[in-house]
Structure formats: structure tokens, C-alpha cells
Amino acid sequence: MQHQRAGAHPAGRLSVVRIETGRLLLRPHAIEDFDALRAMIRDPEVMRHITSIVPSDEDIWNRLLRYIGHWTAFGFGIFAVIERETGRCIGGAGFADFHRGLGNAFAASPEGAWVFAQEAHGRGIASEATQAMHDWFDAQPFGGRSVCIINPDNTPSRRLAARLGYVETGPTQYHGETTLTFERLAPGALERTV
């Protein structure tokens, strides 16, 4: 997948991307987010539609570094979702290139991804954060088409994806499990490619 490095300086240092909404700040992850990330992805309720494997500290550290590295490599990545009132990191939402091996059509576009701590559930936080990340994405030179995968049993995430404009493109196998693939064309995406 080829992408322009939006926001990156020639020396490889990424300028700070910040998105503010009424309740949230979305910014690239930092090393200081490790404890919040660990608490969130070790919560079985949060991860029940993603994986049943409890990650080690090493796995979580590598995930955090992958999140940070995306911004330098691609000019996009997973945002840490910070609750402005409390300053707590309560989720992650953004775009990535995870190299999932789901075929060229899937791999041709950035993958939308989101996960939120239990304290964010049922409060509209996911909708607020994911709408903001997609608004940002749509304004980027690489914006246009994005994809995502969602567990068939994850009804809240499927509803959220539909509100964001994702359309199901079919089932696939990922790590021995059936998952659903989706794609989204940003408003005006067809005009950009003509």
C-alpha cells in the first residue's frame, strides 16, 4: 500500500495531529499511554469480539510502538482518544496498515479501527471519536477509500460502521475465524480518482 506521508517533516519527525471534539481529544499515541492501553486490551469485555488471547506486556508494548510508528511511516495511525474533562485515555481510533493478508482489494486502502474502554461504552464516545477521525481522514490527500473488519457478533460496531458509511463486502477468514469485511468511500472519493 502506498501513501503520502501527510504531516511528516523531511527529517522523519511527525508534526502533531490533534483533533478536538466537544468531549474528546484525539492525538497520536505516546509512550505514556502504555498503562491505559494495557488496562483496556486486557479487559475481556472490551476484547470479546476481537480476541480471547490475553496479551503480555511485551505484546502491548509492541502494539503501542506499532501505533506510534504508523504516524511516521504513513502520516496516519491510531489516535489515542482522551476524555478532555478527565485527561484519561479511554480508547483508540484511527487508520492503519496492519498487513492482515486479506487480499489486494482489502490491502489497497487504510483500515479503520476502533476500540474503547468500558467506561466509554454507551455514552456516544465511539460515535464522536470515529466521526472525527473519518472527517480528518476525508480531508487528507490519501483519504477516499477505507476498509475495516468486524466480528459478525459485534452488533454495536457493525451499527457504528454503517453510520460512518461502511458497506459490508463479505465474510472472510482471519486467524481461523470468520469475520466480515467492509469498505467506505468518502464523500467525493470518486471525483478524486478520475
pLDDT at 141: 86
Q: Is residue 138 part of a domain?
A: yes
Is the pLDDT at 54 greater than 90? The verdict is no
Q: Is residue 80 part of a domain?
A: yes
Q: What are phi and psi of 43, to 5 degrees?
A: -85, 115
Q: Is residue 4 part of a domain?
A: no
H helices of the chain, where?
34-41, 44-47, 57-74, 104-107, 125-138, 155-164, 189-193
Q: What is the pLDDT of residues 134-157, one digit of tens each?
A: 999 999 988 889 999 999 999 999
Q: Is residue 163 part of a domain?
A: no
Residue 105: which domain range? Answer: 19-143
Is the pLDDT at 10 greater than 50? The verdict is no
119 falls in which pLDDT band (50, 70, 90)?
A: confident
Count the domains in the chain. 1
Which one-letter DSSP state was computed for residue 26? E
16 falls in which pLDDT band (50, 70, 90)?
A: confident
pLDDT at 12: 44
- Which grid coordinates belong to 105? 482489494
- Cβ count near 133 (within 10 Å): 24
- The proportion of the chain whose per-residue pLDDT surpasses 70, expressed as a percent, equals 84
Pairwise CA distance, residues 35 & 26, whole Å: 17
Q: Give the number of C-alpha atoms closer than 13 A to the C-alpha of residue 111, restricted to the C-beta side.
A: 21
CATH of the domain at 121: 3.40.630.30
Q: Is residue 86 part of a domain?
A: yes
19's enclosing H/E stretch is: strand 19-20
124 falls in which pLDDT band (50, 70, 90)?
A: very high
Is the pLDDT at 121 greater than 90? The verdict is no
Strand 78-83 with 24-28, pairing: antiparallel
Is the pLDDT at 2 greater than 50? The verdict is no
Q: Which of 133, 146, 127 is nearest to 186 (CA)?
A: 146
Pairwise CA distance, residues 54 & 43, whole Å: 9
Q: What is the pLDDT of residues 71-118, one digit of tens each?
A: 999 999 999 999 999 999 999 999 999 999 999 999 999 999 998 988
- Cβ count near 10 (within 10 Å): 6
- Which grid coordinates belong to 189? 472519493
Q: Is residue 88 part of a domain?
A: yes
pLDDT at 158: 94
Q: Is residue 192 part of a domain?
A: no
Average pLDDT over residues 147-173: 94
